[in-house]
């Protein structure tokens, strides 16, 4: 069976460091037989969550914009790979907006259709790719904590991460071919 991956590019930079890493991982995955649906978040018009809880009855977000189409493409996939830069120790604004709109899925999962206490394994495999300019030990802690809860509403596990320190300017990633090779290899084995 061909595994279908939703690859979410969350940087405002089209050709930035995380985009290059995700593309390398997806190249590896495609070479190994996966099919990839690439979603560049900056191409979509999405309002932030307005906290009106129009989703309270049915788990469907009341704001109608590109959110629904992006959500459906992700939910149609067997696996999800998200690449975000670290911005102020968390995810990019593009991703945070999408993440907050997924509160409608949280409402569905935890208020409308609560599951039995016994926890089932997540339906989707999940990969997180990130990059930051600095090198501190805690650089990815805030981003990973947000992502763990976000992946939970998408019914995805945080099964694998690729976290790259010391990348700042656009193109910096190309000074580290070992990072790109690691991404390609990861993509080739992870999505089997
Ligand atoms: C708004 C903004 C906030 C940032 N915050 C951090 C940060 O908290 N820690 C850090 O190490 N780098 C930070 N950076 C640097 C980016 O994480 C870094 O340049 C990264 O490689 C960008 O990835 P991209 O090219 O995929 O967008 C920030 C950059 C911007 C523009």
For residue 1, is pLDDT > 90? Answer: no
The answer to whether 70 and 39 have CB atoms below 8 angstroms apart is yes
Q: How far is the CA of 16 from the centre of ligand 1 (A)?
A: 10
Report which ligand 1 atom has the smallest distance to the Cα of 132. Answer: 17
pLDDT digits (tens, 9 = 90+) for 139-189: 999 999 999 999 999 999 999 999 999 999 999 999 999 999 999 999 999
The answer to whether 38 and 145 have CB atoms below 8 angstroms apart is no
Q: Is any ligand 1 atom within 6 A of the Cβ of residue 170?
A: yes
Q: Return the residue whose CA atom lies nearest to atom 14 of ligand 1.
A: 87
Residue 168, pLDDT score:
98
Question: Span 79-96, mean pLDDT?
Answer: 98
Residue 122, pLDDT score:
92
Terminus-to-terminus CA distance in the chain, angstroms?
Answer: 9
String of DSSP letters for 116-144 = PSSPPPPSBEEEEEEE-SS--TTTTHHHH
Residue 119, pLDDT score:
78
Q: Is any ligand 1 atom within 6 A of the Cβ of residue 168?
A: yes
Domains of the chain: which residue ranges? 4-48+66-98+124-190
For residue 45, is pLDDT > 80? Answer: yes
pLDDT digits (tens, 9 = 90+) for 92-147: 999 999 999 999 999 999 999 988 777 788 999 999 999 999 999 999 999 999 99
Topology adopted by domain 4-48+66-98+124-190:
Rossmann fold (3.40.50)
Report which ligand 1 atom has the smallest distance to the Cα of 172. Answer: 21
Q: Return the residue whose CA atom lies nearest to atom 17 of ligand 1.
A: 132
Percent of the chain with pLDDT over 90: 94
Q: Which positions ≥6 away from 68 have C-beta within 8 Å?
A: 61
Residue 2, pLDDT score:
93
Q: Is any ligand 1 atom within 6 A of the Cβ of residue 106?
A: no
3-state helix, strand, coil in the chain (%, to 5): 40, 20, 40
What are φ and ψ of residue 52, in 5° steps? -95, -10
Q: Return the residue whose CA atom lies nearest to atom 3 of ligand 1.
A: 87
């Amino acid at each position: 069976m061909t595994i279908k991956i939703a690859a979410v590019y969350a940087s405002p930079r089209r050709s930035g460091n995380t985009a290059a890493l995700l593309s390398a991982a997806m190249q590896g995955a495609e070479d190994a037989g996966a099919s990839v649906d690439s979603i560049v978040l900056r191409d979509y018009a999405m309002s932030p969550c307005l906290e009106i809880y129009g989703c309270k009855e049915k788990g469907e977000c009341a704001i109608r914009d590109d959110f629904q189409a992006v959500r459906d493409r992700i939910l149609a996939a067997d696996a999800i790979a998200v690449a975000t830069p670290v911005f102020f120790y968390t995810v990019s604004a593009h991703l945070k907006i999408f993440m907050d709109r997924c509160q409608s899925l949280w409402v569905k999962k935890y208020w409308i259709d609560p599951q039995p206490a016994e926890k089932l394994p997540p339906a989707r495999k999940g990969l997180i790719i990130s990059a930051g300019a600095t090198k501190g030990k805690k650089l990815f802690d805030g981003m990973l904590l947000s992502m763990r809860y976000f992946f939970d509403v998408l019914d995805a596990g945080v099964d694998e991460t690729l976290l790259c320190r010391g990348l700042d300017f656009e193109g910096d990633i190309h000074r580290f071919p070992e990072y790109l090779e690691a991404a390609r290899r990861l993509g080739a084995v992870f999505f089997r």
